[in-house]
Homo-oligomer: A and B are copies of this chain.
Amino acid sequence: MNTALDHMGRQAKLAARRLAGLERATKDQALLAIADALLEQQAAILAANEADVATARANGTGAALLDRMLLTPERLAAIAADTRSVAELPDPVGEVFDQTSLPNGLRLHKRRTPLGVVGVIYEARPNVTVDIAALCLKTSNAVILRGGSDIAQSVAAITTAIQAALQRVGLPTEAVQSITDPDRAVVGALLRLDQYVDMIIPRGGAGLHRFCIEQSTIPVITGGLGVVHIYVDATADLERAVPLIFNAKVQRPSVCNALDTLLVQHEAAPRLLPAVVRELCAAGVELRCDPASLALLADQPEAAAWTMRPAEPDDFGTEFLGLVLSLKLVANLDEALEHIATYSTGHTDAILTSDAAAAQRFIQAVDSGAVLVNASTRFNDGGQFGLGAEVAISTQKLHARGPMGLRELTTYKWVGEADYVVRPG
């Protein structure tokens, strides 16, 4: 047993009991105080971050990762502004639903309640510290944070600011705690702290998610990994399909809802593919083509200007997270559904079609968190779906699927009221 961690868990659970009874106004006041504290302690936070970044640079960390680690005055201001926005969102805690009166005399309802204590394990992005702390606080959950050891000093400085704000408004500082122990074994210990922690949210790559699934005795929200498909059926409006596919692939290729595989019905291919490939390749996209699409594209006059090669088996079912797209021609919807059932990670899949029956079959058959019709896969996101904030995008099926907002940081209790009734029988 890890004694320090056990103590942290016990303190978090006590803090959660305090938080559970708070009015919305108190929580919003705390959120504004956190935003203020981040800016007041900007010098200390940026200095800590500079130290983290300098160490990482000296250790040969690449530019992309260094950028993810970096805090600047502008980024910190944006984080503070986001925290203020969370204060504006409605508070789901206390919502009453599924009200009913039963013949046995019970007046029954469900009431939304906090989960209790949330554990968050993340990697190189220090902003997650604030994002998740704010969303947990808004929903009356205590949180235990464990950022990557690369950003340990940044996380510690941010946590100091958050706790100062909590203290200022009279809330327990143990509502937001960070694990500063650099030993990776502490992550394993956190994942087994089921006596105190109610939910684990990993924010990071597939390896972190798998580690949590393997090791945790606490329910884990898995997600993030997206092998994303668009199927273009022969009835689709091919002209309007081109900018949509371009948006799905190119707008932000490094994220989980970006397009990975384009499936095109044979009849649509001669008109669609050259037009869409022209745009994609001009934006730097490399293609991995099945034999039929490669033959079609190789025949085009601009073929020499396009970066494409035959798809290898792994090119289907890979999340590229960059400017790469796999391409396949299919005979019909059935073949597309079969391909998606084999390769999709259940994150986001879309159909482009003018055939309402085909759209309905696709919606029914594709077993993914978000199934879209004539819309870019980039829409699968808490902000775009109107949730106001996003905790994570779940690709699992229990508790929450797809984008998770504040409501998904809550559970419910059944409340039954009666007039001294007993159960018959």
Known interface pairs A116-B397, A414-B401, A420-B237. Does A375 touch B17 (Cβ–Cβ under 8 Å)?
A: no
| Copies of this subunit | 2
Known interface pairs A363-B111, A364-B21. Does A379 touch B106 (Cβ–Cβ under 8 Å)?
A: yes
The interface residues of chain B lying within 8 Å CB-to-CB of A105 are 375
A398 lies within 8 A of B198 (CB): yes
Interface flag for A89 (CB, 8 Å): no
Interface flag for A75 (CB, 8 Å): no
Known interface pairs A219-B396, A374-B418, A416-B379. Does A367 touch B243 (Cβ–Cβ under 8 Å)?
A: no
Partner of A365, one of B21, B115, B341: B21
A20 lies within 8 A of B365 (CB): yes
A422 lies within 8 A of B378 (CB): yes
Partner of A102, one of B116, B385, B411, B425: B385
Interface flag for A169 (CB, 8 Å): no
A416 lies within 8 A of B367 (CB): no
A367 lies within 8 A of B413 (CB): yes
**Taking the nearest CB of chain B, how far is it from the CB of A42, in angstroms?**
27
Interface flag for A244 (CB, 8 Å): yes
Interface flag for A368 (CB, 8 Å): yes
Interface flag for A55 (CB, 8 Å): no
| Distance in angstroms between the alpha carbons of A248 and B243 in the assembled complex | 65
Residue of B nearest to A239 (CB): B420
| Distance in angstroms between the alpha carbons of A213 and B198 in the assembled complex | 13
Secondary structure at the A interface, as helix, strand, loop or mixed, is mixed
**Taking the nearest CB of chain B, how far is it from the CB of A415, in angstroms?**
5
| Residues of chain A from 390 to 425 with CB closer than 8 A to chain B in the complex | 396-399, 401-403, 411-423, 425
Interface flag for A241 (CB, 8 Å): yes
Interface flag for A369 (CB, 8 Å): yes
| Residues of chain A from 203 to 228 with CB closer than 8 A to chain B in the complex | 213-214, 217, 219-220
Interface flag for A240 (CB, 8 Å): yes
Q: How large is the interface on A (under 10, 10 to 19, 20 to 34, 35 or more residues)?
A: 35 or more
| Distance in angstroms between the alpha carbons of A376 and B424 in the assembled complex | 10
| Residues of chain A from 340 to 392 with CB closer than 8 A to chain B in the complex | 341, 352, 359, 363-365, 367-376, 378-380, 384-386
**Taking the nearest CB of chain B, how far is it from the CB of A227, in angstroms?**
15
| Distance in angstroms between the alpha carbons of A108 and B370 in the assembled complex | 10
The interface residues of chain B lying within 8 Å CB-to-CB of A113 are 367
Report which residue of A341, A368, A417 has the largest number of chain B beta carbons within 10 angstroms of its beta carbon: A417
A416 lies within 8 A of B240 (CB): no
| Distance in angstroms between the alpha carbons of A403 and B106 in the assembled complex | 15
Q: Mark A98-116, 1 if CB is under 8 A from B, else 0.
A: 0010101110100101011
Interface flag for A131 (CB, 8 Å): no
Interface flag for A235 (CB, 8 Å): no
Known interface pairs A421-B375, A423-B247. Does A108 touch B385 (Cβ–Cβ under 8 Å)?
A: yes
The interface residues of chain B lying within 8 Å CB-to-CB of A21 are 364-365
Residue of B nearest to A411 (CB): B397
Known interface pairs A102-B386, A219-B219, A398-B198. Does A380 touch B414 (Cβ–Cβ under 8 Å)?
A: yes
Known: A369-B413, A373-B416. 11 other contacts (CB 8 A): A20-B364, A106-B379, A108-B385, A198-B396, A247-B423, A370-B415, A371-B413, A374-B421, A375-B416, A376-B421, A378-B422
